[in-house]
């Protein structure tokens, strides 16, 4: 039974779902990094919010970890590249708290416009300062949204409902989508110069860090109001403080901070600043949504191999997973075969899916092929990291699909071009379940791969098979199955032998020394 740790405070629905699905679950919140490191090795899955930091150090000791599920959106608390390297799938729940967070941004906008928190504190203090709290009306004002994805676009539609004019800066917002939303798509400089209120809704990335710095703030309208319900590092807090103190910025409403938990911050104490402690996603509805989703996603992955909302792996639905499984085994074998006989740097990988398999979700198949191909050549490559490793190493990966297939229901062709040569291997499934290699370098075979194989390229000469059998027998190796193929009579031939146990170095050397042997390789699957 897979075992999951819930290390941040999640709705109890998550635990109910894990249990109902047959996943063992422990809830241990508030762990210090060393406490988490001490126990993480026991778990297959980890369910978190933003408090748990899934660092390189944690991932290094998470020897059984297969999946991290973020009950929420931002994954800046997870070292995703390192998780990918380790083969750990990282998932989030991209929509579960979007409405709630957008509502928080709108609430912050009203709080700023009418100074509600300040007026509330003053009234509780029996001051009745009616003339102190003069607000601004939102109707007719221009709201500038930076990052118009899930949350930004909900904020936009709510603001349009409030009769505001909405500008959006988002390089990935299409003009059609902007028209559908009713926003004006603008460049950042334009938004900064025109907006009365600016609301941030981008992730924190190298490009967005400090997107509102001193220079950007300096170019804003005097009296601008700024809302940040996205991530702390988007605004330069020192620059914002200076602009609030000078009166250039009339107010700021912040749910997120450069350093969290924010117990001490340069902006605390300014009466033009409204703060909440990262409450954007904190409604019972949103928390129920994300807890439920993350528990379903983690359980599905651990129990069926289905992948939903992963940031570092192609999606696989629960229906697809069982259909893809035998093809993944085949891809692993095709990739592993090609990888083990490749000796020089790979330049191009061509993958062709023919017949029935072309109609399936081939992304996970390609990831599996690449994992199989690169694993013998590079250390610690997994299905999650293989496509990234291939890209980083400049390996061109070309994928084609054709619905027709001449001899089989489905065929997967893998062609690997190295600095020296191009090699090909093809495979199919027998009875929709059993992987078979059916072609190696243009030579037809029909081979089932076992754990230990001996692969030979030889000249097709009489007596060769006999001397090969004798040599292997003398080395004490038992042959489980023997597959032959040749290009033409007397031409180049291949032998693929399944043997009972690893082929020792000396035995391989003896086989390599036989007359007519061009190449001999011991392979492991
Ligand atoms: N305060 C909270 O509790 C809370 C809750 C949920 C989400 N968030 C944060 O809100 C942010 C947005 O969430 P979302 O669900 O809308 O994500 P999303 O991915 O749907 O949208 C983000 C948008 O930002 C855009 N973007 C990326 N780089 C950009 C750049 N350089 N300039 C302008 N736009 C850029 C993207 O194109 C995308 O459309 C995330 O950082 C998330 O962590 C905070
Ligand atoms: O990215 C998110 O989903 C939000 O920042 C919510 O974070 P939380 O789950 O820690 O409240």
**DSSP helix/strand/coil, 403:** coil
What is the whole-number distance in angstroms between the Cα of residue 402 and the centre of ligand 2? 43
**Nearest ligand, measured from the Cα of 53:** 2
Look up residue 367 and give its two tokens.
């990831």
Q: Which string of DSSP letters, residue by residue, matches 52-97?
A: S-B-HHHHHH-TT--EEEESSS--TTB-HHHHHHHT-EEE--TTTT
- Angstrom distances, CA of residue 375 to CA of 362, 372, 381, 432: 20, 6, 5, 26
Q: Taking a C-beta distance cutoff of 8 angstroms, is the pair 105, 227 a contact?
A: yes
What is the whole-number distance in angstroms between the Cα of residue 209 and the centre of ligand 1? 12
CA–CA gap between residue 13 and residue 60 (Å, rounded): 30
Using a 6 Å CB cutoff, which residues line ligand 2? 49-50, 72-74, 97, 278, 280-282
- Please state the ipTM of this predicted complex: 0.99
Q: Taking a C-beta distance cutoff of 8 angstroms, is the pair 473, 443 a contact?
A: no
Q: Is 262 exposed, middle or buried (0-12, 13-18, 19+ CB in 10 A)?
A: middle
Q: Is 479 exposed, middle or buried (0-12, 13-18, 19+ CB in 10 A)?
A: middle
In order of their start, the domains of the chain are 1-96+281-313 (3.40.50.720), 98-275 (3.40.50.720), 314-441 (3.30.1330.90), 447-525 (3.30.70.260)
Handedness of CA 139, 140, 143, 149 (dihedral sign): positive
Q: Select from 330, 324, 282 the least CA-distant residue to 307.
A: 324
What is the whole-number distance in angstroms between the Cα of residue 74 and the centre of ligand 1? 8
pLDDT at 402: 96
Q: Select from 307, 368, 383 the least CA-distant residue to 91.
A: 307
pLDDT at 124: 98
- Angstrom distances, CA of residue 357 to CA of 199, 361, 387, 422, 447: 46, 8, 20, 24, 20
Minimum CA distance residue for ligand 1 atom 4: 280
pLDDT at 186: 97
Q: Which atom of ligand 1 is nearest to the CA of 256?
A: 1
pLDDT at 324: 94
CA–CA gap between residue 89 and residue 47 (Å, rounded): 12
Positions of the chain with pLDDT lower than 50, given as ranges: none
Mutate to test the pocket of ligand 2, among 97, 255, 276 (most ligand atoms within 8 A of CB): 97
Q: Taking a C-beta distance cutoff of 8 angstroms, is the pair 85, 380 a contact?
A: yes
Minimum CA distance residue for ligand 2 atom 5: 74
CA–CA gap between residue 141 and residue 163 (Å, rounded): 8
pLDDT at 392: 86
**Torsions phi, psi for 89 (to 5 deg):** -75, 135
Q: Select from 147, 162, 156 the least CA-distant residue to 180.
A: 156
pLDDT at 378: 81
CA–CA gap between residue 424 and residue 415 (Å, rounded): 4
**DSSP helix/strand/coil, 307:** strand
Handedness of CA 268, 270, 271, 274 (dihedral sign): negative
Minimum CA distance residue for ligand 1 atom 25: 147
**Nearest ligand, measured from the Cα of 206:** 1
Q: Select from 43, 1, 41 the least CA-distant residue to 26.
A: 43
CA–CA gap between residue 67 and residue 8 (Å, rounded): 15
Q: Give the global pTM.
A: 0.84
Q: Any idea what DSSP says for residue 209?
A: T
pLDDT at 65: 98
What is the whole-number distance in angstroms between the Cα of residue 330 and the centre of ligand 2? 40
pLDDT at 376: 86
Active site residues: 231, 260, 278
What is the whole-number distance in angstroms between the Cα of residue 262 and the centre of ligand 2? 15
Q: How far is CA 512 from the centre of its chain?
A: 44
């Amino acid at each position: 039974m897979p075992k999951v740790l819930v290390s941040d405070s999640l709705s109890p629905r998550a635990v109910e779902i894990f249990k109902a699905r047959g996943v063992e679950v422990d809830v241990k919140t508030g762990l210090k990094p060393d406490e988490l490191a001490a126990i993480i090795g026991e778990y297959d899955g980890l369910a978190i919010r933003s408090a748990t930091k899934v660092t390189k150090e944690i991932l290094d000791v998470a020897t059984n970890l297969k999946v991290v599920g973020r009950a929420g959106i931002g994954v800046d608390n997870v070292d995703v590249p390192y998780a990918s390297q380790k083969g750990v799938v990282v998932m989030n729940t991209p929509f579960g708290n979007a409405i709630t967070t957008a509502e928080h941004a709108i609430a912050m906008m009203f709080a700023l416009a009418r100074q509600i928190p300040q007026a509330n504190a003053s009234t509780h203090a029996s001051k009745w300062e009616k003339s102190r709290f003069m607000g601004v009306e939102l109707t007719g004002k221009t709201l500038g949204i930076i990052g118009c994805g899930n949350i930004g676009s909900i904020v936009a539609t709510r603001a349009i409902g409030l009769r505001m004019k909405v500008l959006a800066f988002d390089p990935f917002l299409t003009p059609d989508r902007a028209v559908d939303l009713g926003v004006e798509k603008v460049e950042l400089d334009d938004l900064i110069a025109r907006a009365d209120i600016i609301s941030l809704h981008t992730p924190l990335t190298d490009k967005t860090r400090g997107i509102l710095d001193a220079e950007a703030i300096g170019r804003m309208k005097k009296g601008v109001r700024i809302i940040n319900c996205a991530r702390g590092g988007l605004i330069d807090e020192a620059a914002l403080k200076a602009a609030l103190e000078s009166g250039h910025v009339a107010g700021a409403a912040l749910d997120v901070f450069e350093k969290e938990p924010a117990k001490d911050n340069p902006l605390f104490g300014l009466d033009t600043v409204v703060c909440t402690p990262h409450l954007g996603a904190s409604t019972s509805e949103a928390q129920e949504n994300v807890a439920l989703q993350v528990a379903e996603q983690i359980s599905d992955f651990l129990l069926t191999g289905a992948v939903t909302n992963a940031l570092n792996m192609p999606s696989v639905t629960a229906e697809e997973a069982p259909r893809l499984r035998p093809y993944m085994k085949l891809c692993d074998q095709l990739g592993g075969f090609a990888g083990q006989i490749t000796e020089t740097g790979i330049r191009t990988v061509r993958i062709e899916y023919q017949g029935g398999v072309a109609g399936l979700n081939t992304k996970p198949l390609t990831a599996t092929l690449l994992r199989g191909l690169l694993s013998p050549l590079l250390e610690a490559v997994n299905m999650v990291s293989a496509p990234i490793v291939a890209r980083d190493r400049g390996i061109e990966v070309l994928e084609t699909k054709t619905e027709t297939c001449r001899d089989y229901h489905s065929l997967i062709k893998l062609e690997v071009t190295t600095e020296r040569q191009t090699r090909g291997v093809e495979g199919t499934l027998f009875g929709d379940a059993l992987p078979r290699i059916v072609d190696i370098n243009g030579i037809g075979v029909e081979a089932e791969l076992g754990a230990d194989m001996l692969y030979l390229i030889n000249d097709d000469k009489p007596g060769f098979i006999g001397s090969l059998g004798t040599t292997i027998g003398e080395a004490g190796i038992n042959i489980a199955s023997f597959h032959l193929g040749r290009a033409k009579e007397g031409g180049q031939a291949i032998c693929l032998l399944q043997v009972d146990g690893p082929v020792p170095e000396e035995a391989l050397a003896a086989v390599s020394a036989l007359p007519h042997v061009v190449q001999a390789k011991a392979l492991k699957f």
